[in-house]
Chain A
């Protein structure tokens, strides 16, 4: 049994490393994804183009516009044409927000009346709009404090506890690692088994003394190893290139990755038992990966989803692993803190793997 198993594992690696496309995919995928998510998907909002319509034209109003420049949040555009052209400017992307300062701005401030400024935002980028409004609120608060020497009754101070710089790449990397493991293992495992069925080699193997357990292990071990390699590879790039902090225990992460792999390999195995061609297997794997990615809390916080959708996310193993990876890397969480995300993975992994093995051996026999 062990001899047949080593032979099978060896053969599987030979096949993976012989396929140049597959090989470059295995190495390029973590790199490309890290670069894409690390550089492009940036949830920070900076340098918002701000059209300024200053009807007051006073020293005070100019000081207010200047204070908008601080912190690189806004790029005020003065001397813009009529406010009637604003709609056009939003449409062609010349501007993202408009600040309107009324004529009585300075007079009202001098008489200590409440002064108002108008802010019009192109709401198509909801996230950027919300963040822009927040910045403007801070600027206005600081301005009134400085100009009038008044401290607003409520002073909001905030600090990101675990990601003080609010660098999106820091929380993207653990998510990418979870996504990579999912895509690589589910897709490769299901395709490798279906390929044997498609080519007829499975039939050939079934008349050999190799047991279905050996066959199964021979298929699972190489892809588990590849998955772990991807994990280490992606994390190394994350830490060395993007300087992502790694606060917690790498060993705990590795151990819980094995648990996560149990679920993804189980899924791959399961998909291989319900499909007959590599194309079908790939579509199943692809479809599930998209579902898993979107409901994992990787892009959108789960708490922002409708209640029924939040229940659906409970069926997504990636959701738990994203929490685990973020917890270990950014907060240094231990197993006690992560237990709430660990036991669903155990449940999910054992059941899907069990179902898949049962289906596999039944079909193989």
Chain B
């Protein structure tokens, strides 16, 4: 039995289909990442899961309870972190923790024990009296996560928890998540960062409200079709256009260079003439390992066709 099961979920705003027949499942203690660019419908999906929006159709079940009817019974076991930092900026770190703990009836010795445990991960203890509004972006997110964890939830729903957070804080953040995952907490999160997918157990690629694909990080990168080469030259838009005019070849910017993707049954020699004509020495193309981003773009372009 899956801990979370979302089936055929749809939600429209007027004519815009924000979520289109979306289904996924999460096992207990599993981390599922929903990955997609801005506007893919990630936040809408999270708000639907947290009963903050009502779906047009489809069902969401968590711990064998229907979110539409049984959300009140789910509240105790749910920890939610919205996309925008939504704690009280004029209250201190500790006051925010006390407030959220109080709502769940976590008080006294139990609260102090829980607080110190969370401070151990978040390193926020020295800032306990600082106002939340004066924290850095990374500290804010760690505080929000601590508030979402203060009542020992069984499922965490995190909407872009690491967006705009510095690399060190991101790493600490993921360490906290791994610790709670070990304790059996089920985690559903969204991220626009492809590199974070590797830290999840499974990921769903989403675009335009639809699910492109899902799988473990290995399965996703393994699903890349064709051969990938990288070219270490600063590409002009014109060059990309000329390369893309070559049949069976796609190219796009990658970092400061280019990634060139060749259909599976072709070798670089088959297009060397065309490459030279486009102004690229085929000898400069180096075989490359497809990353999460390459897979995502390839899937996105396929659905676009």
Residues of A participating in the B interface, judged by any CB pair closer than 8 Å? 3-4, 6-8, 10-11, 14-15, 18-19, 199-201, 203-210
Nearest CB to that of B88 among chain A residues?
A: A201
The verdict on A15 contacting B88 (CB below 8 Å), with A7-B102, A208-B104 known, is yes
Bound together, the chains give a CA A3 to CA B104 distance in angstroms of: 9
Does B80 sit within 8 A of A, measured CB to CB? yes
Does B124 sit within 8 A of A, measured CB to CB? no
CB proximity of A3 to chain B, nearest CB, Å: 5
Bound together, the chains give a CA A300 to CA B294 distance in angstroms of: 75
Residues of A within 8 A of B102 (CB): 3-4, 6-7, 10
B92-150, CB < 8 A from A: 95, 98-100, 102-105, 107
Residues of B within 8 A of A19 (CB): 90
- A207 close to B91 (CB less than 8 A): no
Bound together, the chains give a CA A56 to CA B184 distance in angstroms of: 108
The verdict on A200 contacting B75 (CB below 8 Å), with A11-B99, A206-B52, A208-B100 known, is no
What are the 7 closest A-B residue pairs judged by CB atoms, nearest first? A7-B102, A200-B86, A209-B75, A207-B80, A208-B103, A4-B103, A204-B86
Bound together, the chains give a CA A10 to CA B98 distance in angstroms of: 10
Bound together, the chains give a CA A201 to CA B87 distance in angstroms of: 6
Nearest CB to that of B49 among chain A residues?
A: A207
- B91 close to A14 (CB less than 8 A): yes
- 4 additional A-B residue pairs with CB within 8 Å, beyond A10-B99, A209-B72: A200-B82, A204-B80, A208-B100, A208-B103
Label chain A's interface by main secondary structure. helix
Bound together, the chains give a CA A199 to CA B100 distance in angstroms of: 16
Bound together, the chains give a CA A205 to CA B52 distance in angstroms of: 11
Interface band, chain B: 20 to 34
Residues of B within 8 A of A4 (CB): 102-103, 105
Bound together, the chains give a CA A18 to CA B134 distance in angstroms of: 14
Label chain B's interface by main secondary structure. loop
- A18 close to B99 (CB less than 8 A): no
Bound together, the chains give a CA A4 to CA B101 distance in angstroms of: 9
Residues of B within 8 A of A208 (CB): 75, 100, 103-104
CB proximity of A154 to chain B, nearest CB, Å: 68
- B91 close to A18 (CB less than 8 A): yes
- B90 close to A207 (CB less than 8 A): no
Sample (13) of A-B pairs whose CB atoms are under 8 Å apart: A4-B102, A10-B99, A11-B91, A11-B95, A14-B91, A15-B90, A199-B88, A203-B82, A203-B86, A207-B51, A209-B72, A209-B104, A210-B103
Bound together, the chains give a CA A206 to CA B80 distance in angstroms of: 10
Residues of B within 8 A of A10 (CB): 99, 102
CB proximity of A197 to chain B, nearest CB, Å: 10
Residues of A within 8 A of B80 (CB): 204, 207
Nearest CB to that of A210 among chain B residues?
A: B103
Does B60 sit within 8 A of A, measured CB to CB? no
Bound together, the chains give a CA A10 to CA B91 distance in angstroms of: 11
- A7 close to B99 (CB less than 8 A): yes
- B78 close to A207 (CB less than 8 A): yes
CB proximity of B89 to chain A, nearest CB, Å: 7
Does B1 sit within 8 A of A, measured CB to CB? no
CB proximity of B104 to chain A, nearest CB, Å: 7
- B51 close to A14 (CB less than 8 A): no
Nearest CB to that of A206 among chain B residues?
A: B52
- A209 close to B87 (CB less than 8 A): no
The verdict on A199 contacting B89 (CB below 8 Å), with A3-B107, A204-B80 known, is yes
Bound together, the chains give a CA A207 to CA B75 distance in angstroms of: 6
Does B16 sit within 8 A of A, measured CB to CB? no
The verdict on A18 contacting B52 (CB below 8 Å), with A4-B103, A11-B99, A209-B75 known, is no
Residues of A within 8 A of B89 (CB): 199
The verdict on A203 contacting B105 (CB below 8 Å), with A209-B75, A209-B76 known, is no
Nearest CB to that of A15 among chain B residues?
A: B90
Does B50 sit within 8 A of A, measured CB to CB? yes
- A7 close to B90 (CB less than 8 A): no
The verdict on A18 contacting B78 (CB below 8 Å), with A7-B103, A206-B52, A207-B51 known, is no
Residues of B within 8 A of A7 (CB): 98-99, 102-103
CB proximity of B71 to chain A, nearest CB, Å: 9
- A204 close to B82 (CB less than 8 A): yes
Residues of A within 8 A of B75 (CB): 207-209
Nearest CB to that of B77 among chain A residues?
A: A209
Does B84 sit within 8 A of A, measured CB to CB? yes
- B76 close to A201 (CB less than 8 A): no
The verdict on A3 contacting B84 (CB below 8 Å), with A11-B95, A11-B99, A15-B91 known, is no
Bound together, the chains give a CA A200 to CA B102 distance in angstroms of: 19
- A200 close to B84 (CB less than 8 A): yes
Bound together, the chains give a CA A8 to CA B101 distance in angstroms of: 11
Bound together, the chains give a CA A199 to CA B90 distance in angstroms of: 12
- A203 close to B99 (CB less than 8 A): no
- B88 close to A207 (CB less than 8 A): no
Bound together, the chains give a CA A8 to CA B107 distance in angstroms of: 14
Bound together, the chains give a CA A15 to CA B95 distance in angstroms of: 10
Bound together, the chains give a CA A19 to CA B107 distance in angstroms of: 26
Residues of A within 8 A of B104 (CB): 208-209
B41-60, CB < 8 A from A: 50-52
Nearest CB to that of A207 among chain B residues?
A: B80
Nearest CB to that of B101 among chain A residues?
A: A7
Bound together, the chains give a CA A261 to CA B84 distance in angstroms of: 35
Residues of B within 8 A of A209 (CB): 72, 75-76, 103-104
